[in-house]
């Protein structure tokens, strides 16, 4: 059986990028359909990072889905760097006038899913064999399998929000793009536990045993990470072994207050820097992880996805409402400029806080000296804080 439909924007992927884009378009009266490979349950339970820049919280509010975030999200005015056992506070508010919001990506995804369901917007979960066609011409279309039927959606535009392993990037003709990539020789072993966080603010720790991060989801749920070799498997790490290793990477104060408990999730995330250029191919646009990946140390992944989507929604709104294609034409360059600045920061922050297997003693000394300089210089502290709260979308000198 063949079924065919028509929409203005076909969105591939119901991660935060696709869902937020769908919500912004809906609020502007633009018709969109989302095709997602996984089940709704899978999407709503995926655990990812949870630090939102102001530009992201503003966008979430603008999209009309910020009520729970504003109620339950934790505003953080700073974070701590624990370097070789010594704490240094990065006063984000004092240094930049801005704060960040700690609110899990899982929760944000659920808020977006709920809004989409409440507005009865069209979403195909468990869409199989999604393929994008004809985006170099005026009438692109998407095909997929759903509920035993072959389906076709004709559209004006395709938004590739299908993450790093998606179908959109895979469909690009060879030679039409360039990829930049670095895979790091370690991963982050993460544990979620229903225990109170060890500290009011996040602690990024770096020492001889490697990196660790103390984060949280609420006053009663914590998220912790330790750097592990890429070859490690989750099955090698019992909860006890994880807590023991974390303790060794913290200071006496944190060791004294750390409350441990059974893990409710445990996984190893590989670390990667990746950018694809350009992000537009005729009537196909890539947004979020489909176009770029950052290592998680700077907490930039979701925030970059949000700004891609902001610019993409504006581009479509300009096209339909004002008959202007300026936003469409500038989409790739405007996104890439912010993406590269966040990629640079995430790479640099990762480099500074992790032990790399090939680092000899001199690199460790260079890193320590750089941190010593940064943490004792107002401009150094400002550099960290400005990047962490998020650099502006434009510097005002681009269209
Ligand atoms: N067909 C349909 N859907 C697909 C396909 C496909 N072939 N391939 C992938 N998808 C779906 C995935 O199942 C997923 O739900 O696309 C979605 C992509 O979501 P994410 O990977 O979460 O990417 P994005 O929405 O861009 O979110 C970026 O997620 O990984 C973090 O750090 C990142 O926080 C950032 C955010
Ligand atoms: C998280 O809470 O999962 C988290 C927080 C900050 C980061 C990365 C991950 O930099």
pLDDT tens-digit map of 93-112: 999 999 999 999 999 999 99
CATH number, position 121: 3.50.50.60
Closest ligand 1 atom to the C-alpha of 105? 34
Distance CA 205, CA 196 (A): 19
Residue 290 has pLDDT above 70, yes or no: yes
> Confidence class of residue 283 from pLDDT cuts 50, 70 and 90?
very high
Domain hosting residue 115, numbered range: 2-76+99-180+272-355
**pLDDT mean over 233-251:** 98
Distance CA 371, CA 361 (A): 15
Question: Which stretch of DSSP H or E encloses residue 190?
Answer: strand 178-193
- 103: in domain: yes
- 370: in domain: no
- 202: in domain: no
Confidence at residue 393, expressed as pLDDT on a 0 to 100 scale: 80
26, 76, 93, 146: the active-site residue: 76
CA 297 – ligand 2 centroid, Å? 7
Query: What is the pTM assigned to this prediction?
Result: 0.97
pLDDT tens-digit map of 223-233: 999 999 999 99
Confidence at residue 339, expressed as pLDDT on a 0 to 100 scale: 97
Pocket test for ligand 1, best of 50, 279, 288, 301 (most atoms within 8 A of CB): 288
- 52: in domain: yes
**pLDDT mean over 318-331:** 97
Nearest CA to ligand 2 atom 4: 49
Residue 1 has pLDDT above 60, yes or no: no
Closest ligand 1 atom to the C-alpha of 300? 32
User: Is any ligand 1 atom within 6 A of the Cβ of residue 15?
Assistant: yes
Q: Which residues are CB-neighbours of 365 under 8 A, at least 6 positions away?
A: none
16, 140, 197, 296: the active-site residue: 296
Span of 4-13, 45-54, 271-280, 297-306 with lowest mean pLDDT: 45-54
pLDDT tens-digit map of 39-70: 999 999 988 888 999 999 999 999 999 999 99
User: Is any ligand 1 atom within 6 A of the Cβ of residue 305?
Assistant: yes
DSSP for residue 318: H
C-beta atoms surrounding 218 within 10 Å: 17
Confidence at residue 395, expressed as pLDDT on a 0 to 100 scale: 67
Residue 399 has pLDDT above 50, yes or no: no
Scored b (16 or more CB within 10 A) or e, 351-377 reads bbbbbbeeeeeeeeeebeeebeebbee
**pLDDT mean over 12-26:** 98
Confidence at residue 3, expressed as pLDDT on a 0 to 100 scale: 85
CA 43 – ligand 1 centroid, Å? 9
Distance CA 56, CA 47 (A): 18
Identify whether the C-beta of residue 144 lies closer than 8 Å to the C-beta of residue 131.
yes
> Confidence class of residue 398 from pLDDT cuts 50, 70 and 90?
very low
- 119: in domain: yes
Residues 285, 304, 370: CA angle, nearest 5 degrees: 140
pLDDT tens-digit map of 134-171: 999 999 999 999 999 999 999 999 999 999 999 999 99
Confidence at residue 2, expressed as pLDDT on a 0 to 100 scale: 78
CA 293 – ligand 1 centroid, Å? 11
Pocket test for ligand 2, best of 50, 76, 268, 389 (most atoms within 8 A of CB): 50
- 382: in domain: no
- 347: in domain: yes
Q: What is the mean pLDDT of the chain?
A: 96
Token pair for residue 22?
Answer: 């769908």
Confidence at residue 394, expressed as pLDDT on a 0 to 100 scale: 76
C-beta atoms surrounding 219 within 10 Å: 11
User: Is any ligand 2 atom within 6 A of the Cβ of residue 155?
Assistant: no
Closest ligand 1 atom to the C-alpha of 294? 32
User: Is any ligand 1 atom within 6 A of the Cβ of residue 162?
Assistant: yes
Confidence at residue 396, expressed as pLDDT on a 0 to 100 scale: 62
**pLDDT mean over 272-285:** 98
Counting residues of the chain whose pLDDT is more than 70, the rounded percentage is 98
Confidence at residue 49, expressed as pLDDT on a 0 to 100 scale: 86
Strands of the sheet with 280-281, listed across from one edge:
123-124, 32-35, 9-12, 157-160, 284-286, 280-281
Structural domain count of the chain: 1
Beta strands 222-229 and 284-286 are: unpaired
pLDDT tens-digit map of 188-222: 999 999 999 999 999 999 999 999 999 999 999 99
- 302: in domain: yes
């Amino acid at each position: 059986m063949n079924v065919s439909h028509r929409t203005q924007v076909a969105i591939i992927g119901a991660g935060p990028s696709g869902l937020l884009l769908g919500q912004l378009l809906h609020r502007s009266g633009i018709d969109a359909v989302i095709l997602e490979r996984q089940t709704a349950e899978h999407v709503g339970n995926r655990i990812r990072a949870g630090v939102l820049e102001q530009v992201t919280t503003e966008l979430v509010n603008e999209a009309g889905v910020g009520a729970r975030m504003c109620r339950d999200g934790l505003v953080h005015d700073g974070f701590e760097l624990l370097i070789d056992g010594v704490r240094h506070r990065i006063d984000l508010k004092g240094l930049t006038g801005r704060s960040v919001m700690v609110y899990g990506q899982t929760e944000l995804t659920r808020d977006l899913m709920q809004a989409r369901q409440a507005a009865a917007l069209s979403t195909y979960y468990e869409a199989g064999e999604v393929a994008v066609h004809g985006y170099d011409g005026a009438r692109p279309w998407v095909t997929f399998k759903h509920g035993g039927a072959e389906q076709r959606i004709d559209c004006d535009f395709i938004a590739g929000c299908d993450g790093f392993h998606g179908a959109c990037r895979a469909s690009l003709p060879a030679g039409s793009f360039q990829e930049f990539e670095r895979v790091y020789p370690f991963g982050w072993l993460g544990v979620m536990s229903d225990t109170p966080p060890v500290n009011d603010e996040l602690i990024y720790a770096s020492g001889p045993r490697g990196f660790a991060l103390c984060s949280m989801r609420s006053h009663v749920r914590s998220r912790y990470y330790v750097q592990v070799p890429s070859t490690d498997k989750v099955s090698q790490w019992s909860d006890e072994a994880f807590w023991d290793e974390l303790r060794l990477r913290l200071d006496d104060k944190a060791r004294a207050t750390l409350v441990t408990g059974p893990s409710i999730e445990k996984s190893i995330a590989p670390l990667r820097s990746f950018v694809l250029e350009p992000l537009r191919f005729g009537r196909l646009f890539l947004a979020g992880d489909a176009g770029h990946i950052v290592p998680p140390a700077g907490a930039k992944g979701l925030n970059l996805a949000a700004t891609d989507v902001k610019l993409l929604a504006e581009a479509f709104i300009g096209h339909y409402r004002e008959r202007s294609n300026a936003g469409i034409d500038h989409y790739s360059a405007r996104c890439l400029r912010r993406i590269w600045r966040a990629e640079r920061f995430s790479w640099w922050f990762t480099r500074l806080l992790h032990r790399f297997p090939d680092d000899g003693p001199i690199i460790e000394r260079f890193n320590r000296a750089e941190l010593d300089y940064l943490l004792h210089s107002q401009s150094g502290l400002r550099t960290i804080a400005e990047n962490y709260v998020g650099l502006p979308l434009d510097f005002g000198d681009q269209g």
